[in-house]
Amino acid sequence: MRSLPQASVLSFALLYGFPIHAQPALFYDPTPSLASLRPEARQSLAAAGLTALDALPGYDLSLTVQPTSRTFVLHEEVYFTNPERSPLREVVLRLYANAVRPSASRPGDPTWTPPVRFTRGACTEATCAVVAESPSVIVVRPSAPLPPGGRLRISLDLTATLPEIAAGRTNLMAQGMESLSAMSAGESGGDYGLLAVGDGIVSMANFYPVLARRLGGHWERTDAGAVGDLGSDDLSNVHGMIDLPTGYTLATTGTVLRRSEAGGRQRVEVGAGVVRDFAVLAGASLEVATRRVGDVEVRSFFNRQHRDAGQRVLDVAAHALDVYQQRFGAYPYVDLDVVEAPLVGGAGGVEFPGLVTVASMFYGDASTPGVPTRAGSAPTGALEGLGDLGGLLSTLGGGGGGASGVLGQMLPSMLEFVTAHEVAHQWWHALVGSDSRAHPFIDESLAQWSASLYLEQRYGADRARRDADLQVKMNYQFMRTLGQADGAVDRPASAFATPIGYAGLVYGKGPYLYNAWRSAAGDAVFWRAMQRYVTTWRFRTAPATGFLDALVAEDRANAARYRTLARRWLHETHGDEDLGQMDLGALVGTMLGGPGGQVAPEVQDALRMIGPLLQGLGRSGGGVPATGLPSGDVSPQQLQELLNGVMQQLETP
């Protein structure tokens, strides 16, 4: 990002319809970043109150990546304008990659080293002290308080060594057991491999310092737990210059502005305007398949050995984009990338503006029912889909015979659902913002519901209902099977004691509120409310009541009914009554062929063995004498022995 000559200031004002008679000198040039926005999205910025785009935080990233040594060097310029009414004595930046330890480490573990290292910081055109207060907190203290509207340009230098994801860790059995281990320990999946190298793919998310959240006039320096999404929800403009070896295929948030090659290296300039996050992925074996949906280019990036699954992901993403544009309004960016990524810890996918990732464990044989060689568990509660609980079913697919047949039937629908869920995040919360820490249900429950909507629009209500039972409702039912109580859906991420509860309530229960509202309002009122919600909050931050407010505005006569439904689903405890109990036999029947599917008695018996074990895992000191299992906590070794026995029973002719 550079300062603008006066001619550029004039052309910028003319292009975006801002008054040209009173334009102050721009702090930095947001024009290159705005190339990532479709024309209609640019024209809507003023209606969202974004008339001074250089007042948004600006991040100018000069990034050099060395994949073979798993390192990068980053020079970053941060452009910050004080948006508050009081002077600021300090500005706090967060390095969220250093905020979460890998799931294999423990607090106080001396062997863990934060992957990103701050080396130097200074202010341009001002005097300030820049210090790393902790691995994830960088504090900038100007020599004089920064007044309201005051500007500060901060220069940072960082280096990093990316963790390596071991070969085989992203396969079916490994991810299944990793999820089960996290369940038994009551912890989240750690960093999920968001900043790592694995399966030949360099994954870089949360890799650069961003402005910390502000709450009650204070900078947030800690995150009060790792359940849920970490990061900032604020809008910013990002300009990147990425240097990496020739032959690597690159996917990023935003759009490529220009590219050059020399001396075995490539330099790629990227602009990402009015975004809430920025990510980079690259791989020497990545291939790209493309399809246009109107004037939007949809791209699927995948390892070449996973071409069939990559084409399937492209088809789902394109159809989902089309469905959502019809129902929610125009997609804001010029392209949409869906990228295979080496996610671990049970993670199924992660969203960024204009780019989403889907775990490589879904890509192996997910396009063909049968024995899955590189497929895996469903997403965790901190990310998408089935939650840590999906690892159980993934583990059942680890060998040949009947169990792998069960999972082989599931995998294509799991891949499709996760992809549709991630694409829905382009509206919730890339376009319609929300506070993902204080009210995580706003974007996650709505993205879950939207994935079911995609299925309904493409295949019909019966298929959508069947897949929702498996991909959505089962989160809640598994949570209850584990002995965790029903509770409020609308609460801060830090208020969920375990990822299981987060997945069960936010991903499993919350989505059904939108079904209840749609049924009560009727389609005509419901879809008008949806359009009102998007129009009101596009490029802004919606409150927890945003959709309810839109619904009431469309149909005030039934306002009390809509508010009663919101209380029931978001704050009260009627989940068992509304969503029912888990029936493992019926569940497997759904996996194998929908309602009425025939399930072999030995499969039912094997699965019933696991239910009491899950109850033991979910309650401290809970024994399971009916199955002969030990009372008290169940160790991973005991769990592995039980699952081995289950696998043998399932594979016996």
In CATH, what number is assigned to the domain containing residue 376? 1.10.390.10
| Domain match, 293 and 379 both | yes
For residues 633 and 614, membership in a common domain is answered with yes
> Is residue 483 included in any domain, yes or no?
yes
The string over 456-495, giving b where at least 16 C-beta atoms fall within 10 Å of a residue's C-beta and e elsewhere, is bbbeeeeebebbbbbbbbbbbbbbbbbebebbbbbbbbbb
| Residue 324 placed within a domain | yes
Same domain for 298 and 257? no
The domain tally of the chain equals: 4
509: amino acid identity, one letter? K
388 has pLDDT over 80 = no
Give the residue with greater pLDDT, 637 vs 178: 178
**Alpha-carbon gap, residue 20 to 31, rounded angstroms:** 16
pLDDT at 409: 60
Strands of 276-334, DSSP E: 280-283, 286-293, 296-303
The gap from C-alpha 208 to its chain's centroid, in whole angstroms, comes to 17
Any alpha helices (H) in 460-522, and if so which ranges?
461-468, 474-481, 499-502, 512-521
Q: pTM score, two decimals?
A: 0.85
Final residue belonging to a domain, choices 599, 618, 639: 599
pLDDT band at 393 (very low <50, low <70, confident <90, very high): very low
Check whether residue 593 and residue 610 sit in a common domain: no
Burial of 119 (0-12, 13-18, 19+ CB in 10 A): exposed
> Are 26 and 12 within 8 A, CB to CB?
yes
Question: Which residues touch 203 (CB under 8 Å, ≥6 apart)?
Answer: 193, 194, 195, 196, 197, 279, 281, 341, 342, 343, 357
Token duo for residue 334? 């010029």
CB 637 within 8 A of CB 594: no
Mark which of 576, 599, 622 sits at the end of a domain.
Answer: 599
Report if residue 321 sits inside a domain. yes
pLDDT tens digits along 37-50 = 999 999 999 999 99
Rg (CA), the chain: 24
* Sequence letter at residue 138: I
Mark whether 99 and 193 lie in a shared domain: no
Least confident of 187-196, 396-405, 409-418, 469-478: 396-405
Range of lowest pLDDT (10-19, 28-37, 83-92, 118-127): 10-19
**Shared-domain flag, residues 538 and 411:** yes
- Whole-number pLDDT of residue 288: 98
239 and 354, same domain (yes or no): no
CATH for 245: 2.60.40.1730
632 is in which domain, residue-wise? 600-651
Which pLDDT does position 179 carry in this prediction? 67
**Which residue bears the tokens 């941060």?**
78
Task: Between 23 and 576, name the one with better pLDDT.
Answer: 576
Given pLDDT bands bounded at 50, 70 and 90, which one contains residue 519? very high
Percent of the chain residues past pLDDT 90, beyond the cut? 64
End of a domain among 584, 599, 614?
599
The dihedral built from the CA positions of residue 105, 415, 341 and 239, taken in this order, carries a sign that is negative
Q: Are 430 and 326 within one domain? A: yes
Same domain, 311 and 402: yes
Length of the chain, in residues: 653
Examine residue 1 and state whether it is found in any structural domain, yes or no.
no
Query: 618 and 589 in one domain?
Result: no
* More confident: 595 or 90: 90
Comparing 229-243, 315-329, 554-568, which segment has the lowest mean pLDDT?
Answer: 229-243
* Residue 395 reports pLDDT greater than 50: no
Do 346 and 480 belong together in one domain?
A: yes
Mean pLDDT of all residues in 547-559: 98
477 lies in some domain: yes
478 is a domain residue: yes
Looking at the fold, whether 604 and 594 belong to one and the same domain comes out as no
Q: Which of 185, 162, 107, 633 is nearest to 391 (CA)?
A: 185
